[in-house]
């Protein structure tokens, strides 16, 4: 399953639309006013299905991942120097990034590769392509991308 993740050009808070290969909206992401990043994920029908909430006052960035109102994991950035690495507490997923922080791979110790994420260049807004092997993993893979993008935005501001 391929998802195209595009940030909206005119938006007061972080706001994204996520499309499938056919250009149909699969998810919508709306930023909410909060300490740190708080991103609500809506399905195509506009129903709230997930949240990515940044924890504040931590040494290294951490984001709690919720499906509906149930905590399903916490993604945290590891201390590395050249290649970004994230672990997801509450699952066996790990995220490895490339040197320029444009491409990432999500892997599972038990299932192997879950998804590949690539940032497309030469766009006005942040645009990522997410290739997810199993459609059931699409929401959590999207949450990982949102957390990584929010961490990069926090670091650059």
What does the pLDDT look like over 56-97, one tens digit per residue? 888 888 999 999 999 999 999 998 888 889 999 999 999 999
**pLDDT value at 101 more than 80:** no
Q: What are the tens digits of pLDDT across the range 25-50?
A: 999 999 887 778 899 999 999 999 99
Q: Which domains occur in the chain, in start order?
A: 2-156 (2.40.160.200)
Partner residues linked to 43 by β-bridges:
27
Report the 3 state secondary structure along the chain. Answer: CEEEEEECCCCCCCEEEEECCCCCEEEEEEECCCCCCEEEEEECCCCEEEEEEEECCCCCCEEEEEECCEEEEEEEECCCCCCCEEEEECCCEEEEECCCCCEEEEEECCCEEEEEEEECCCCCCCEEEEEECCHHHHHHHHHHHHHHHHHHHHHHC
Query: What is the predicted pLDDT for the residue at 51?
Result: 97
Contact 30, 40 (CB under 8 A): yes
Contact 144, 157 (CB under 8 A): no
């Amino acid at each position: 399953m391929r998802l195209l993740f595009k940030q909206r050009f005119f938006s007061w808070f972080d706001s994204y639309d996520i499309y499938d290969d056919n250009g149909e909206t699969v998810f919508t992401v709306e930023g909410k006013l909060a300490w740190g990043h708080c991103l609500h994920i809506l399905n195509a029908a506009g129903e709230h299905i997930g949240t990515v909430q940044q924890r504040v006052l931590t040494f290294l960035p951490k984001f709690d991942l919720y499906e509906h109102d149930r905590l399903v994991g916490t993604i945290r950035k590891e201390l590395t120097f050249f290649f970004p690495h994230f672990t997801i507490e509450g699952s066996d997923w790990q995220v490895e990034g490339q040197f320029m922080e444009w491409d990432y791979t999500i892997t599972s110790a038990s299932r192997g590769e879950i998804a590949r994420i690539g940032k497309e260049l030469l766009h006005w807004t942040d645009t990522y392509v997410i290739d997810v092997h199993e459609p059931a993993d699409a929401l959590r893979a999207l949450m990982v991308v949102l957390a990584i993008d929010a961490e990069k935005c926090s670091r650059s501001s």
